[in-house]
Structure 1
Amino acid sequence: MGKKLKITRKSKKIILGICVTAALALVVGLFSYIYVADHNTLGRKISVYGLDVSKLTVPKAEQKILKSFQNRKVVFQEDGAEVYETTLGNLGYSINADDLRSQLEDLRKKRAADRHLLATQEDYKIQYQLNKDENQEKSVLVSGNFGDKERTASVDAAVQYDEKQKKYVMVNETQGNMIDEARLKAYVDQTLDSVFQTDLLGDDVTVTMGTEVYQLPVSAQSEEMQNKLTNLNARLDTYRNMTVTYTFGSETEVLDGSTIDSWLKIDGENVSVDQNQAKAYVENLATNYNTIYVPRTFHTSYGSDVTVSDNEYGFQIDQEGELNQLLQDLETGTPVTRDPVYSIAGMQRNGRDDLAGSYIEVSLDNQHLWLYKDGALVTETDIVSGAPTPERETMRGAWPIAYKASPYTLTSDQYGYNTTVTYWMPFVYGQGLHDATWQSSFGGNRYKSGAGSHGCVNLPKDQAAIIYNAIDGGYPIIIY
């Protein structure tokens, strides 16, 4: 049998002392380790935005965070497939290093002041400042980097004229998939800003591309397009509801909206009046209502009709002036009633009748004169007209009385007379109506003898007074 080993009391004390010493050394070492870790590093069991930075000094933690952020992948997906991959660093994003260092140092001090023997895992969301190189981001976010798929441009909504409906209608927009680089950049920035709020240093960032990054067409519902549609149809209605009523005395002629509508030229969004058609209308108006410088057929007091070719009395429409006025009227859209623009205007008219019952009628063959006013006979009288020779005959035709004067001296170097008359009413080429007290009688064939005038129409003085007081300058006279 072996000998039984006996441990003396003294040995037990030595062993116990060694164990206590070792335990104390262990405790001291542990506390030393904890002190160093908690004071010189960020501490034990710590992460920032999920990134483990345990037992790292501030500079090392800073570098790890900066590198992790810049190397973080950004993956672009479109139609369920990956089309491009880059990093935050390539996109020009970076964390402000000075600010990060300051935040980490504050965090270190906070944890050092609040150290515990047994550490528990903690994740911190510290404040941060981001820097971004705009030019760098633009250089990466170019449409050519996002796959080689065939792309179609968006088509804006449009307003177009519908012939069947006779109005403008809206054609809706078409959304294409052509990338708008400015919208892409804004969408990427928005996406990343949202991610950074909670996940600054997490996994890959996925950017799902859709209509948010495509060229945006002008919408049919936009205020701009709705206003355009309203304004164009209102312009059409303005023309179609427009009327121009021309007055010719008591008679009128109406240019109505349906005729104006037929003149409209519609070229895309441009609505205008076809000036050639408006011009043709004015020309036709002039043809129908001009009464001067055309042979005049006149119904005489004897009941027969005569035609005079020298017709210098009446109305003439100023076609250029009328066209300009008409185009201005059409643009206002306000119905108007007015006379045409005349270059020459007679005294009055009723439709195509430019005498309207007020005129002087002279029959040279019968040596007789009638004065009518508003359809009523004012007076009639025999006359003495010019002698029937080429030099002295009274002109046949129609003219306005140029003016009237009382008294008036008639002179002629050619015929050697100087005579004052009481009533003078000239009509053409120095010829006129006047009293002739030197005539012993009027009418008959006296004008064919030496009693004939030099072209004037001689009147008894009382008849000259009646006529003079009844008319004004512009009064028509028809001599046949």
Structure 2
Amino acid sequence: MSERKKRGEQRQPTNRKGKRKQKLKFILSISILLMIVLTVGFVAYEIVTDTQTMGCKTFVYGQNVSRLTPDQATEKINTTFEDKTVSFYENGKSVYTVSLRELGYSLNTQTLETELFKLKKEIWKKRTIFESKEDWKIPYEVVRDDNRLSETLSVEHFTADTERISSEDAYIKYDDASKKFIIVDAVQGNQIDPNRLLQYTSDCIRKNLEEDFSRKVIPVEINENTYSQAAVTASSEELLSRLSELNTNIEKYNNTSITYLFGDVTETIDSATINSWMVISGDKVEIDSDKVRAYIEGLASKYNTIYVPRSFYTSNGQTVTISNNEYGFRIDQDAEFEQLCADLQSGTTIQRSPVYEKEGLSRNGTDDLNGSYIEVSLEQQHLWLYKNGVLVTDTDIISGLPTEDRATYTGAYAIAYKASPFTLSSDIYGYEVPVTYWMPFVYGQGLHDADWQPEFGGDVYKTNGSHGCINLPPDQAEVIYNAIDGGYPIILY
């Protein structure tokens, strides 16, 4: 083989290798060029996208708003918000379910879109080549249609397994065991209060949104927070004040003791009696006025001594009945009722005399003479003066002439007053007589000295009797005058 031929054979493989290298270079150049074009295009696309949308991998409160414009993101977030479910539960059971939209809730889209624009700019400033998913939190404003909320939360939607009952107020009652008033606490019912339901639901929604805005279901428990409440509770100041007042009154009644004084004789109203008069009705403690009046009437029946026939034991050992009894004691039952009712609430021990309409000089129980009195026997024409059970003096007298117009009145009276000297006069009988001692008792009749009478006692009165007065020897008139005072009892029979 020639030298040239050999060189040609050696050159041919070398040319082939060169062509392949050129082809590879071309392909590589094209690929690089395509890569550059794609990269530039991608970057340009991302720049344009980031400029006009919320960018990629962007979440707001859990909502994917990537590649969405602020207004599109606004619509999506608001729609998702309105679609949130509000589930009402009562006693562990679901009783009503509505959406926020049905309740009249939505977001202020203008505010939301403004905040999303701000967020878009912030995201653009923080953009990187390798962006990670981020859940953004932005300010928002909830708006509500109150009319729609009220309509949707109508209490008719909330049925219960049992009949709904209203709450019962706390109240005061008397406890027989403790013998005092106590407060019975209010009873919580399950009747729904529309206003409380609205307020509690609104609070639950607000609280849930604050805790987790992305929450899809908002639970609301129908409980005492939504039920009608008792108007009066056990802690009511007015109720506590009333309780204190009532128990104070009972304590006063229990601590009260009233003793009536009739001289040395007494009548006591103790706490047992007072308790028997108490009337407990609801939150009231009162005294049975009928029982109080009956008690006073009993006192009057027992201790009144005036205007009733008087049984009198004479100095001669006889018992006579005095009909014209205008001396003694009479209880003023109306005034005593008022006084006793006031005393019953005093909480103290009281000793006193009854309130009298008429009073004698002194008494000891039913004895209103108490050993001090003037006794006159018209039949015997004699007078006795007793003081504190002791005979002070006795004397013969001359009484009125026993005729219809001049006879001395019989009965029991009180000496009205005494005067010294005094002039006796009468237009009817035409006389005017001075006396030293004058002690009238009834209807112009009285005791007085009569120095013009020559003698006293016997039957003198039948012929030389007075015009009704009791004529006394001057010395006896002086003794009697000095021994008595106005109000002294005199018994004439």
TM-score normalised by length of structure 1: 0.90
C-alpha distance in 1, partners of 2:241/2:455? 82
Letter in 1 for 2:113: R
| Separation in structure 2 between the aligned mates of residue 194 and residue 106 of structure 1, nearest angstrom | 26
Is 1:18 the counterpart of 2:30? The answer is yes
Structure 2 residue 72 is the aligned partner of structure 1 residue 60: yes
Identify the match of residue 259 of structure 2 among 222, 241, 245.
245
Task: Give the partner amino acid of 1:381.
Answer: T
Structure 2 residue aligned with 1:80: 92
Deviation at 1:445, TM superposition (A): 2.3
CA distances 1:322-375 after superposition (whole Å, capped 9, x unpaired): 122222322444443222121112222222111222222222222222223333
Residue type at the aligned position of 1:201: S
Matches within 5 A, 1:302-313: 302-313=316-327
Q: Which moved more, 1:369-378 or 1:152-161?
A: 152-161
Aligned in 2, Cα 1:376/1:89: closer, same or farther, shift over 3 Å?
Answer: farther
Aligned length: 477
- Closer, same or farther: CA 234–22 of 1 in aligned 2, 3 Å: same
For the pair 1:151 / 2:163, whether they are aligned, the reply is: yes
| Rounded Cα–Cα distance in structure 2 between residues aligned with 1:250 and 1:7 | 156
Matches of 1:116 and 1:340 in 2, distance apart? 108
Give the AA of the match of 1:297. S
Q: Which amino acid aligns with 1:455?
A: G
Residue identity in the other structure for 1:470 = A
- RMSD, aligned CA: 2.8
Query: Aligned partners of 2:247, 2:177: CA distance in 1, in Å?
Result: 14
Question: Which among 298, 302, 306 is matched to residue 288 of structure 1?
Answer: 302
The worse-fitting range, judged by mean Cα deviation, of 211-220 and 149-158 is 211-220
* 3-state secondary structure, aligned to 2:211: coil
Distance (whole Å) between structure 1 residues aligned to residue 183 and residue 298 of structure 2 = 39
The 10-residue stretch of structure 1 (87-96 or 69-78) with the greater mean CA deviation from structure 2 = 87-96
* Unpaired runs of at least 5, structure 2: 1-14
Contact 2:296 2:337 in 1 (8 A): yes
- Structure 1 position 182, deviation (Å): 3.4
Which range is displaced more, 250-259 or 27-36? 27-36
State the partner residue of 1:371.
Answer: 385
Answer whether contact 1:42 1:56 (CA < 8 A) is retained: yes
Partner residue of 1:396?
A: 410
Give the drift of 1:453: 0.6
Could you tell me whether the CA contact under 8 Å between 2:256 and 2:345 is conserved in 1? Answer: no
1:48 aligned to 60, 64, 72, which one?
Answer: 60
2:259 and 2:350 in contact (8 A); partners too: yes
1:121 Cα offset (Å): 0.9
Hey, what does 2:482 align to over in structure 1? 469
CA 469–130 in structure 1, closer or farther in 2 if over 3 Å, else same: farther
Counterparts in 2 of 1:71 and 1:388: CA distance versus 1, 3 Å: same
Instruction: Identify which of 421, 446, 458 aligns with 2:471.
Output: 458
| Residue in structure 1 matched with residue 398 of structure 2 by the alignment | 384
Q: C-alpha distance in 1, partners of 2:399/2:351?
A: 44
2:205 pairs, out of 192, 201, 210, with 192
Which structure: larger Rg? Answer: 2
**Match for residue 410 of structure 1 among 424, 446, 462:** 424
Alignment of 1:19-418 (within 5 A): 19-147=31-159, 149-153=161-165, 154-161=167-174, 167-168=180-181, 174-216=187-229, 222=235, 231-418=245-432
Moved more, 410-419 or 367-376: 367-376
Question: 1:414 and 1:147 mapped to 2: Cα distance?
Answer: 101
Corresponding letter in the other structure for 1:292: I
CA distance in 2 between partners of 1:340 and 1:362 (Å): 30
- More displaced 10-residue stretch of structure 1: 278-287 or 133-142: 133-142
Between 373-382 and 158-167, report the one with greater CA deviation: 158-167
SS in 2 for 1:118: coil
Conserved 8 A contact 1:50-1:202: no
Distance 2:19 2:371 in 1: 164
The two structures have a TM-score, normalised by structure 2, of 0.87
Deviation of 1:447 after TM superposition, in Å, equals 1.3
Deviation at 1:439, TM superposition (A): 1.6
Q: 2: CA distance between counterparts of 1:400 and 1:213? A: 80
User: How far off is 1:158 after superposition?
Assistant: 4.7
Shift of residue 227, structure 1, vs aligned partner: 6.1
CA deviations on 1:386-426 (whole Å, 9 max, x unpaired) are 11222111111111111222322221122111112222221
Kept after mapping to 2: 8 A contact 1:171/1:220: no
In the superposition, relative to structure 1, how do residues 281 and 7 fare at CA in structure 2: closer, same or farther (>3 Å)?
farther
Shift of 1:170: 5.7
Pick closer, same or farther for the CA change 1:28–1:332 going to 2, 3 Å: farther
CA distance change for structure 1 residues 14 and 320 in 2, over 3 Å: closer, same or farther? same
